[in-house]
Amino acid sequence: MPELPSGTLTASHQILNRQDSWSKGLTQRPEVLQARLDVEKQGIQLKFDRNQLYPQLDFVGTYGYNGTGTNYNSAWTQVTDRLQPAYTYGGQFSIPLANTAARNTFKSDKVTLQQLLVSLKRQEQNVMIAIDNDIGNVQADYDQVLATRAQRQYEEQALDAEQKKYALGASTTTLVLQNRSALAQAESTLVSAMAAYEKAQVELDRATGLLLDHAGILVADAERGEVTRMPAIPFVAPRPEVPGSVMPQAEPPAQTPPQ
């Protein structure tokens, strides 16, 4: 796909890789990560429930000191001096017969795990479909930018030619104004096309989970409640400096093409 001609309105062409975009979306989208954590948590719960179905063997034991004096003081002295050690030990083995409650819990949690797995797969499919759609929108909107840019250049050349003809007395004011109006409309159409292209790129960043990274927004800053680096968001400027305060310097984020 050719690059846009030079001019005041430009748009960078992003090289899109469907497989890489899928990989990023499936590993960075927060709802997918949460769904995987839910599956893992339910898997641990199911292992615990399965253990409740088996026989149980417990070992118990105690160790201490006895006091058998004729009064409290003499008995306490025997305990503190550790004169009569005592200990017990034993075991307890239990076999669940019906164990209906544990079996029902295990079956219920097993069904829940299956439902969570289905939900996870559905979310992964939705993410992949959204990425496919957004990649198509980015490519289509870029083609539209190229087309409207070419139309603007044509209208600009047509106006220049009409003005030259007017200077030679071979045209009229009406024709010049018509060409100016056509150029203004082409300029407006180009701006709208570029806005749609920028929006499509943002949607693709959101679908792949790279929106914060490309905007230079640090989650760690939000956790600390302190901004250490200004976000690099197009057309957004920091507020004027307040006397006595220090504004962090803006740092451009890593220029990684949206995948």
Q: How many domains does the chain have?
A: 2
Q: Are residues 177 and 108 in the same domain?
A: yes
In the prediction, which pLDDT does 223 show?
A: 67
C-alpha 115/C-alpha 234 separation (Å) is 42
In the prediction, which pLDDT does 242 show?
A: 54
Mean pLDDT of the chain: 82
Given a cut of 80, whether residue 2 has pLDDT beyond it is no
Q: What is the mean pLDDT of residues 28-57?
A: 91
pLDDT (tens digit, 9 = 90+) per residue, 188-243?
Answer: 999 999 999 989 988 999 899 887 777 777 766 666 777 777 767 666 666 666 55
Alpha helical stretches, state H, 209-259: 211-215, 219-224
Q: Are residues 151 and 84 in the same domain?
A: no
Q: How confident is the model at residue 72 (pLDDT cuts 50, 70, 90)?
A: confident
Residue 219 lies in a domain: no
In which domain, by residue range, is 89 found? Answer: 55-95
Residue 201 lies in a domain: yes
Q: How confident is the model at residue 146 (pLDDT cuts 50, 70, 90)?
A: very high
Residue 37 lies in a domain: yes
Nearest to 216 by CA among 251, 186, 256, 187: 251
C-alpha 2/C-alpha 4 separation (Å) is 7
Domain boundary among 95, 126, 159: 95
C-alpha 208/C-alpha 105 separation (Å) is 38
**C-beta separation of 258 from 211 below 8 A:** no
Residue 171 lies in a domain: yes
Q: Are residues 37 and 134 in the same domain?
A: yes
What the block records as the tokens of 240 is 């004027």
Q: Are residues 122 and 197 in the same domain?
A: yes
